[in-house]
Amino acid sequence: MKNLPAKIVGTVVATKERGATAVEYGIMVALIAAVIITVVSLLGTQLSGMFNNVKNSI
């Protein structure tokens, strides 16, 4: 019976940590997606120019 408050507090803390971890993973996924979109758009423009130069050379 003495450990009941500790178990209740432990359960609440564990639940809060799981929620915070999901939020952190969501933020990381959003940042990774933003970086990928930026890199692809920048490289896409450069690659398009490179392929046009090759096409014009042929």
Tens digit of each residue's pLDDT (9 = 90 or more) over 19-47: 668 888 999 999 999 999 999 888 888 88
pTM flag (> 0.85): no
Can you tell me which residue has the tokens 């609440």? Answer: 12
Residues 2, 9: Cα–Cα separation, whole Å = 13
Tokens at residue 56, please? 């014009």
Using only C-alpha atoms, what is the Rg of the chain? Answer: 25
Confidence bin at 50 (pLDDT 50/70/90) = confident
**Percent residues over pLDDT 70 in the chain:** 66
Measured between its terminal Cα atoms, the distance across the chain in Å is 84
Residues 30, 27: Cα–Cα separation, whole Å = 5
